[in-house]
């Protein structure tokens, strides 16, 4: 059992050594891209929600 656990950690460490980690600049660029995309999608979905709410209100007659 101990041998299996140790082998698992050994193989995990070997796999982690193969990972190409992003640089600080790449991480910052990707983070900014994600934040901008989230803001744009939030505004877009908020606008769609607003328009559909108004349309529903007009159809119901409130």
**10 burial level (CB within 10 Å; 0-12, 13-18, 19+):** exposed
Q: Tell me the pTM.
A: 0.66
pLDDT, tens only, 8-49: 999 999 999 999 999 999 999 999 999 999 999 999 999 999
1: three-class secondary structure by DSSP: coil
What is the model's pLDDT at position 44? 98
Q: What is the pLDDT of residues 46-62, one digit of tens each?
A: 999 999 999 999 999 87
The pLDDT value recorded for residue 57 is 93
- The full set of domain ranges for the chain reads 21-62
């Amino acid at each position: 059992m101990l041998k299996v656990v140790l082998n698992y950690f050994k193989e995990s460490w070997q796999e982690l050594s193969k990972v190409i980690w992003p640089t600080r600049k790449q991480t910052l660029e990707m983070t900014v891209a994600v934040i901008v995309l989230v803001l744009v999608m939030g505004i877009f979905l908020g606008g769609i929600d607003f328009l559909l709410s108004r349309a529903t209100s007009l159809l119901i007659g409130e």
